[in-house]
Amino acid sequence: MLLKKFLPNEHVKNVFFIKPESLKEKGIKAIITDLDNTLVEWDRPNATPQLIQWFEEMKKHNIQVTIVSNNNEKRVKEFADPLGIPFIFLARKPLTKAFNRAVKLMGVRKEETVVIGDQLLTDVLGGNRSGFYTILVIPVAQSDGFMTRFNRKIERRIMSSFKRKGLINWED
Domain boundaries, given as residue ranges, for the chain: 2-164
Across the chain, how many H-helices and E-strands are there?
6, 6
Share of the chain above pLDDT 90, in %: 76
Q: How far apart are CA 2 and CA 63, in angstroms?
A: 32
Q: What is the pLDDT of residue 42?
A: 85
Q: Which residue has the higher pLDDT, 171 or 12?
A: 12
Say whether domain 2-164 belongs to CATH 3.40.50.1000. Answer: yes
What pLDDT is stored for residue 39 in this prediction? Answer: 97
CB-hemisphere CA count at 13 Å for 6? 21
pLDDT tier, 171 (very low <50, low <70, confident <90, very high otherwise): low
Taking the CA atoms of residue 96, residue 98, residue 103 and residue 105 in that order, the dihedral angle to the nearest 10 degrees is: 160
Query: Is the predicted pLDDT of residue 131 greater than 60, yes or no?
Result: yes
Is 166's pLDDT higher than 60?
yes
Percent of the chain with pLDDT over 70: 94
The C-alpha angle with vertex 100 and arms to 61 and 105, in degrees rounded to 5, equals: 50
